[in-house]
C-alpha cells in the first residue's frame, strides 16, 4: 500500500486490538477509534512501547457525526488510509420474543449503522485514491442463524451483504479498492461484556439484564476462554488482504452447517 495508514474501529480490544499490532508491526501508522476511553489510552500506550505509531480517537460508531469527526481527524492528523477495518461490534443474546427493543436498537446501531457510517465516510476517500482495502467484520453468524442470537445474526447478515454488494460494485468499475469480509467463529474477545460500553439511551433495566441467564452466560464464557486467539485472526486478515481474498474464515468448524443451509436453499 502506498498509504501505509490503517484505520481500525473497535481497536482498543479483541480482534481490533490484535489488528492494531499486526498492521503496526508491518510498518503502518495506526488510527484507532473506540468508545472505551480507558482501554483506548492503554492500547495506544502499549503500542508505543513497541515503537508503533498510533493515534487514538474517541468514537461512537453508532453516531453519524462522531464517525464524520473521526474521519476528518484521521485525514488532518495522519493522512489518507490504505486499510480501513470496520470492526467495532457488540452482542446480546436471548430468544427473539423476549429480546428487548433497546437490545435490537443497540446492536443494529453499532454493528450495522456503525458499518454504514464507516463506509459512507471512508469509501469516497479510498475511491479517490484508487487504492486501499476495506475489511468488514461480519461473523459466522452472517452465514448461519443460531438460536438465541436474533439481533446479532441480523446485524451480521446485513454486514455481509453490504460487503458483498460493495465488492461487486467496485469490480464493475475496475476499482483498485479491495473488500474483504471477516467471518470469525469463536474468538477470545470481550464481546460477552459488551454491556460495559452500552450507551445510556440503549440501556435496559438492570433486573432485566440479570434475567438474561447467568448460567448460560458462564457456560458461553468458558467456551470463549478456550477459543481462538485474536492474534491468529489478525494474521489471517493481514494475509487475506495481501492476497485480495474476499471471505476470511477463522476455522472450518461451521462449514458443515453452512453446506446444509445452502442445500436447503437449493432444494427450495
Handedness of CA 123, 124, 127, 128 (dihedral sign): negative
What is the model's pTM?
A: 0.92
Give strand pairing partners of 179: 134
The range of the structural domain enclosing residue 45 comes to 5-267
CATH of the domain at 86: 3.40.50.720
- Distances 93 to 58, 97, 190, 227 between C-alpha atoms, Å: 27, 11, 14, 19
So what's the pLDDT on residue 218?
65
Backbone angles phi, psi at 199, to 5 degrees: -65, 150
**How do beta strands 178-183 and 54-58 pair?**
unpaired
Backbone angles phi, psi at 253, to 5 degrees: -65, -25
So what's the pLDDT on residue 2?
77
Burial 109-139, CB ≥16 within 10 A → b, else e: bbbbbbbbbbbebbbebbeebebbbbbbbbb
So what's the pLDDT on residue 214?
62
User: How many domains are there within the chain?
Assistant: 1
Block means of pLDDT (10 residues each) for the chain, length 268 residues? 92 98 98 97 97 98 99 98 98 91 96 99 98 98 94 98 99 98 91 82 66 58 74 98 97 91 93
Amino acid at each position: 500500500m502506498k498509504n501505509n495508514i490503517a484505520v481500525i474501529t473497535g481497536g482498543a480490544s479483541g480482534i481490533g486490538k490484535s489488528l492494531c499490532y499486526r498492521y503496526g508491526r508491518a510498518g503502518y501508522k495506526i488510527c484507532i477509534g473506540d468508545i472505551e476511553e480507558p482501554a483506548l489510552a492503554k492500547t495506544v500506550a502499549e503500542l508505543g512501547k513497541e515503537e508503533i505509531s498510533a493515534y487514538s480517537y474517541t468514537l461512537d460508531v453508532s453516531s453519524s457525526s462522531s464517525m464524520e469527526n473521526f474521519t476528518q481527524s484521521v485525514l488532518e492528523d495522519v493522512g489518507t488510509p490504505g486499510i480501513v477495518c470496520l470492526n467495532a461490534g457488540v452482542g446480546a443474546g436471548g430468544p427473539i420474543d423476549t429480546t428487548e427493543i433497546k437490545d435490537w436498537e443497540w446492536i443494529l446501531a453499532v454493528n450495522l449503522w456503525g458499518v454504514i457510517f464507516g463506509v459512507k465516510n471512508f469509501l469516497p476517500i479510498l475511491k479517490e485514491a484508487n487504492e486501499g482495502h476495506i475489511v468488514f467484520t461480519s461473523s459466522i453468524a452472517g452465514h448461519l442463524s443460531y438460536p438465541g442470537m436474533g439481533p446479532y445474526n441480523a446485524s451480521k447478515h446485513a454486514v455481509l451483504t453490504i460487503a458483498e454488494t460493495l465488492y461487486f460494485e467496485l469490480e464493475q468499475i475496475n476499482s483498485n479498492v479491495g473488500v474483504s469480509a471477516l467471518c470469525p467463529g469463536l474468538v477470545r474477545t470481550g464481546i460477552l461484556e459488551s454491556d460495559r460500553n452500552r450507551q445510556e439511551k440503549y440501556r435496559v433495566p438492570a433486573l432485566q439484564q440479570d434475567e438474561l441467564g447467568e448460567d448460560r452466560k458462564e457456560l458461553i464464557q468458558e467456551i470463549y476462554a478456550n477459543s481462538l486467539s485474536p492474534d491468529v485472526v489478525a494474521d489471517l486478515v493481514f494475509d487475506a488482504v495481501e492476497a485480495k481474498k474476499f471471505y476470511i474464515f477463522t476455522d472450518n468448524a461451521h462449514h458443515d452447517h453452512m453446506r446444509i443451509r445452502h442445500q436447503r436453499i437449493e432444494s427450495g
